A and B are shown apart, each in its own frame.
Chain A
Amino acid sequence: MEFTLIKPLFGGFLLGLAALSLLFFNGRVAGVSGILGGFLSFKKRDTLWRFAFLAGLVAGGVLLLATVPETLNFTLTSSPPAVMLAGLLVGIGSRMGSGCTSGHGICGIGRLSKRSMVAAAIFLSSGIASAVTIDLVFGGVI
C-alpha cells in the first residue's frame, strides 16, 4: 500500500471541521456510536438531530461514490459470521465504552479528556491485537 500523507491529514482536517461544525450549531459531540445508539434506543432522545446527522453520513457516502468512487472501492474478504461478530463487538463495545473512534478518537482527544485517551489507547491496542492475530494465526482472513 502506498504511503500518502496529504490525504489522511486533509481527511482528518475535514473530520475535525465537521465535528466542530456540529458543536457550533448543535452543541453536541460528534460521536457516531453515541448518536446512533441514542437514535436506536427509540426513547424520546431528541431523535431528529440524530437522524439528520446520520442521514448526512449516508448522503456523504452517496456523494463520495459519485465523485471519488475509489474511496469506497474495497472487498471484504471476511466470512459473514466474522463480519457479524465484528459488528456485534463494535456495537456492544462502543456503547459500553461510551464511544468509538469518532467520539473518543477525535472529539475526546481533541478536548484532552483523560477517559478518551485511555479508551483510544485501549481500542488501538486491542485492534492491533485482533488484526495481528488474524494475520499470524489465521493467515489473514477468517
Chain B
Amino acid sequence: MSLLMIFLSGVLFALGLGISGMTQPEKVVSFLNVVGEWDSSLIFVMLGASMTYLTGYVFILKRSKPAFAQSFILPTRRDIDPPLIYGSLLFGLGWGLVGFCPGPALVALVTGYDSVLIFLLAMGFGMYAFEVIDSRFKGDPDGGAGLIIKS
C-alpha cells in the first residue's frame, strides 16, 4: 500500500511535468534564453508548484508522522556552503545546455530517443561518480542536506 502510494505520487509528478511543459526541452531552453523569443510561461510552473507545496506542507507536518513511515525526513541545514553554490552553478549550465533536468529526462525515457538515453546515462554516471569521489555523502543519502527532523 505504501509503495503503491509512492508510485502514484511519481505518476502524478510526471503528469505535472508533462502538462506544465517541462518535458519539452526546447520549451525549457526558450524559457532560459531570455534574449531570444522568450517563453516566460515556465515561471508559473515553479510558482504554482511551490505555492501549492507551501500551502499544504504546514498542515502535513502538524501530523506526528507520515501515513506509512516512521518519521518525516527533511533537510535541516541552513548554511550556504561552497558545494551548494558551485553545484547549483554546474547544474544550471547543464540544464540550459539542452533543457533537461532529472525529472523530465526520466519521464521522457518513454520516447526512446537516443539523446534522452545518452543524457540519462551521463547524468547517472555523474551522480554516481560524484558520490564515489565525495566521501561527504557516504553517511548522508540525500545530497548532504543534513537530514532528519521531526520524528
Q: Which residues of A does B touch, CB under 8 Å?
A: 1, 3-5, 7-34, 36-38, 40-41, 45, 48-49, 52-65, 68, 71-76, 78, 80, 82-115, 118-120, 122-132, 134-136, 142
Residues of A within 8 A of B128 (CB): 37, 40-41, 91
Chain B residues touching A, majority SS: helix
Q: Which residues of B does A touch, CB under 8 Å?
A: 2-27, 29-30, 32-37, 39-54, 56-57, 60, 65-75, 77-80, 83-103, 105-111, 113-116, 118-131, 134, 137, 141-145
Number of residue pairs spanning A and B whose beta carbons lie under 8 angstroms apart = 523
Shortest C-beta distance, B30 to chain A (Å), equals 6
Shortest C-beta distance, B96 to chain A (Å), equals 3
Residue of B18, B86, B88 contacting most chain A CB atoms (<10 Å): B88
Choice from A23, A31, A34, A114 contacting B57 with Cβ under 8 Å = A23
Residues of A within 8 A of B144 (CB): 98
Choice from B14, B35, B80 contacting A64 with Cβ under 8 Å = B14
- Chain B residue with minimal CB distance to A1? B39
Please state if A24 and B67 are interface contacts (CB–CB under 8 Å): yes
Please state if A93 and B90 are interface contacts (CB–CB under 8 Å): yes
- Chain B residue with minimal CB distance to A49? B6
Known: A8-B48, A110-B57. A93 touches B87 (CB 8 A): yes
Residues of A within 8 A of B44 (CB): 5, 8-9, 12
Query: How many Å lie between the Cα of A108 and that of B129 in the bound state?
Result: 25
Known: A26-B69, A96-B134. A21 touches B12 (CB 8 A): yes
Residues of A within 8 A of B23 (CB): 61, 64, 71-72, 74
Query: How many Å lie between the Cα of A68 and that of B125 in the bound state?
Result: 31
Query: How many Å lie between the Cα of A107 and that of B126 in the bound state?
Result: 23
Please state if B14 and A97 are interface contacts (CB–CB under 8 Å): no
Please state if B20 and A23 are interface contacts (CB–CB under 8 Å): no
Query: How many Å lie between the Cα of A96 and that of B2 in the bound state?
Result: 30
Query: How many Å lie between the Cα of A11 and that of B12 in the bound state?
Result: 10
Query: How many Å lie between the Cα of A106 and that of B80 in the bound state?
Result: 18
Residues of B within 8 A of A91 (CB): 94, 122-130
Residues of A within 8 A of B143 (CB): 31, 33-34, 37, 94-95, 97-99, 103
Please state if A12 and B8 are interface contacts (CB–CB under 8 Å): no
Chosen A-B contacts, 17 in total, with CB atoms closer than 8 Å, are A19-B53, A23-B60, A27-B73, A59-B10, A86-B97, A87-B94, A90-B101, A92-B90, A93-B89, A93-B93, A93-B94, A97-B85, A100-B91, A127-B95, A129-B93, A131-B32, A132-B96
